[in-house]
Amino acid sequence: MNLQTQSLSTHFLLPLFPSKPNFLPPKQTPFRKTSLISCSLSTVSVPTTTNHKPFPAEVSRTIMELSCIGTLSTIAQDGWPLGVGVRFAVDAEGTPVVCLAHASRVLSLDNRSTLHVQLEQCGSRTPQCTIQGSLDKPADAKVLRRFDSVWKKRFGEEADVVNLYIVDVERVLQIEDFNEDGIWVTSSAYKNANPDPLRDFAEGIVNEINTNNMEDIHRFCNVYVDLDFQVSEAKMLWVDCLGFDLRIYSPHKGAFEVRIPFPREVTDEKGAKSSFNGMSQLAWEVEKNFHVPDFQKVKQLKQITYSGVQ
């Protein structure tokens, strides 16, 4: 087991993973009842050992798409650093658009600035991105109108184009959580990356699973993860198109995060539901000895400084 030390909505009508098995007629494989999802289940394969995660540029784009409030920092004209809370929207390339009614208070002499944005996940993790760039006011009227439409689409209101500015992205620092080292992302990588296709459904899926399907979360830990300790607490932190992150806790070993990949990349909510159901079914069969586990378990855990799951 490899340990990496760290320093520290959409709601389903029925439970995502029904917990009581419903056996089919004799001589058939026992199968749990899965009536909640109308979509069909694709052929189930098992997670691989690869740590499938979105690239930092994609995570940054997702954070910016899901957030609308950040801290804009500049060197003010008196020479002191100044950070103020702002609302922002992003265009198709992730360029932040801000509306500054009192721009003279935050404009620096050379326009250098940062926009720091955080996204809380399940109350337990806060991925962040900090955009470095120049705070500019587009001079072209056509460009201003385009950014005005971006603002209106995000907030449902028109902005005073006189107060519209953009942060022209130079590079981006992406951090997975507080007290972690970050990864620098180039401007081109950020602009060319795509935000996660599950971003608008992720929070709802996670909340529903953590509310109704703790038995399945613990089963996932036992079946898909190579552990040498008993998990006393577990919950899902986030889900994306490549898999999901769990926070697990043992009173003897401490707290860890583990990444469990989907059998294949999903592109929408329907695909995520199908993959969850398939993985849940397989995990139940393995646990009940109806299916021989012929796959390698996830081995990479990230130990964290944490007192519990909640």
For residue 35, report the phi and psi dihedrals to the nearest 5 degrees.
-90, -5
pLDDT at 172 over 80: yes
- Report residue 11 as tokens: 């709601």
For residue 245, give both structure tokens: 């992150």
d(CA 60, CA 25): 50
Contacts of 119 (CB under 8 A, 6+ apart): 62, 63, 66, 67, 126, 127, 128
Helix (H, G, I), strand (E, B) or coil at 212: helix
pLDDT at 103: 66
Is residue 13 a contact partner of residue 204, using CB atoms and an 8 Å limit? no
Average pLDDT over residues 149-175: 94
pLDDT tens-digit map of 41-67:
333 334 433 458 999 999 999 999 999
Indicate the pTM of the whole model: 0.82
Please compute, for residue 37, the number of CA atoms within 13 A of its CA located in the half-sphere on the CB side. 20
Q: Give CA–CA dist 197/124, Å, rounded.
A: 22
Tell me, what's the pLDDT at 43? 34
Q: Pairing mode, if any, of strands 254-261 and 243-250?
A: antiparallel
For residues 112 and 168, give the distance between their C-alpha atoms in angstroms, rounded to a whole number: 10
So what's the pLDDT on residue 306?
53
Query: Which range is least confidently modeled, 73-87, 128-142, 145-159?
Result: 73-87
CB 293 within 8 A of CB 279: no
- What is the pLDDT confidence band of residue 296, given thresholds at 50, 70 and 90? confident
Is it the case that residue 28 has pLDDT exceeding 70? Answer: no
**For 107-135, how does the pLDDT look when each residue is reduced to its tens digit (9 = 90+)?**
666 889 999 999 999 989 999 999 999 99
Helix intervals (H) in the chain = 56-66, 141-155, 187-192, 199-212, 214-224, 269-287
Q: What is the mean pLDDT of residues 216-222?
A: 95
Q: Which amino acid is at 210?
A: N
| Residue range 255-272: mean pLDDT, rounded | 95
Nearby residues of 11 by Cβ (< 8 Å), 6 or more positions away: 204, 207, 208
CB burial of residue 223 (10 Å; 0-12, 13-18, 19+): buried
| 96 vs 151: CA distance, rounded Å | 10
Q: Which two tokens stand for residue 108?
A: 């620096």
